Amino acid sequence: MLKWGFVFLLLAVASGLFGVAVSDAATFALAQVLFFGNVVLFVVFTLLGAMVPRALDVPRHDSTRQREP
């Protein structure tokens, strides 16, 4: 999705250089929505990943190992 934001940003810049006003505004608005949507998703998933409790390193009992007499 971030890639599409950059594609639409490049399309907006290109159409702005060629003087196409309606297409320029539409592609720039779409690029902005996609870019800031990605920023919001990045922040949300970063915070969710930081709040996940970490697994404890608990030694597991290995039942296949022979007991020493």
Residue 29 belongs to some domain of the structure? yes
pLDDT single digits (tens) 15-30: 777 777 677 778 788 8
Q: Angle at CA 5, nearest 5°, toward 24 and 1?
A: 150
Distance (Å, whole) CA 32 – CA 57: 44
Determine, yes or no, domain membership for 67.
no
Q: Classify residue 39: in a domain, yes or no.
A: yes
Q: Would you say residue 66 lies in a domain?
A: no
Strands (E), 1-69: none
Number of domains in the chain: 1
Domain of residue 31, residue span: 2-49
Q: Is residue 28 part of a domain?
A: yes
Q: What's the predicted TM-score (pTM) here?
A: 0.53
Contacts of 9 (CB under 8 A, 6+ apart): 27, 28, 31, 35
Tell me the pLDDT tens digit for each residue of 28-43: 888 888 888 888 888 8
